[in-house]
Amino acid sequence: MLMKKARIAVFVSGGGTNLQALIDAQKNGIINNGEIVLVVASNREAYAIERAKNAGIEAVAVVKKECNDQLDFENKVIDLLTERKIDLIVLAGFMTILTEHFTSKYPERIINVHPALIPSFCGKGYYGLRVHEEALKYGVKVTGATVHFVNEIPDGGKIIMQKAVYIEDGDTAQVLQKRVMEQAEWIILPQAVEKVSAEIIKAL
C-alpha cells in the first residue's frame, strides 16, 4: 500500500540552496512523510527553478510586479496551491512578505527558516546578509538558525527547531552566512519539514 505523504510547496526567490537541501533530504529519506510537488518562485530568473526542474519538480513563477497588487499576487498563489492540493508551504529564501490575508488561510501550515536564533536579529528588515552583519556588530558569540511557523508578524510564529552556531574570530558576514547555512539551516529545515509533515499526515 502506498504511504500517504504531505504535499509540499517550496517558495523561493533566488539560488535555492535551501531548496536543494530539501530535495537532497527527500532523496536520502530524511523527509519521508512529505513530498515536494511544487516550487513557487517570486522571480523568473531564480536559479532555484533550474534546481526544481533537475529534480523533476513542477516550478511556477508568480511575480508580484506583474500582478495588480499584493492581494492579486497572493490570490494567484492561493489558487495555485489549491489546484495542487498543497498541505504544507516551506519558505526557503522567499523575499516577499505575505500578509494576514494569505497566512490566515494556512495556520501552522507555513514554515520558514531564519538565519538567527529568534528572538535575536529578527522581524521586519532582518533578512539575508543583514542578519549576520547585525550579529557581528552586536558581538554575540553564538548565532544559528530557527525554523518557525509563519503568521502575519514577520518571524513571529511558534518556533519548531533551533540550532546554534559559534561565531569565530575574523568572521565576515559572508563567512558566517555560509557556516550558518551548512551547520544549521540545511540540517534543521529538512528535519522540521519531516516533523510537521508527519503531524499533518496523522491529522488527515
The model's pTM is 0.95
Please confirm whether the linkage preceding 115 is cis (ω < 30° from 0): no
Active site residues: 114
Q: Spell out where 34-193 has E strands.
A: 34-41, 58-61, 88-91, 110-114, 142-149, 159-166
Q: Tabulate helix, strand, coil % of the chain (nearest 5).
A: 40, 20, 40
Please give the single-letter amino acid code of residue 187.
I
CA 80 centroid distance within chain: 18
In 3-state terms, what secondary structure has residue 57?
A: coil
All structural domains of the chain with their residue ranges: 6-203
Return d(Cα 162, Cα 169) in angstroms, integer.
23
First-to-last alpha carbon distance for the chain, in angstroms, is: 17
**pLDDT surpassing 90 at residue 3:** no
Average pLDDT, the chain: 96
pLDDT tens for each residue of 102-153: 999 999 999 999 999 999 999 988 989 999 999 999 999 999 999 999 998 9
User: Helix 186-203 crosses helix 17-27 at what angle (to 10 degrees)?
Assistant: 60
Q: Check if CATH label 3.40.50.170 holds for domain 6-203.
A: yes
pLDDT tens for each residue of 29-75: 999 999 999 999 999 999 999 999 999 999 999 999 999 999 999 99
pLDDT band at 2 (very low <50, low <70, confident <90, very high): low
Return d(Cα 145, Cα 92) in angstroms, integer.
13
Q: Which helix (H) or strand (E) holds 136?
A: helix 129-138
pLDDT (average), residues 158-162:
98
**pLDDT surpassing 90 at residue 1:** no
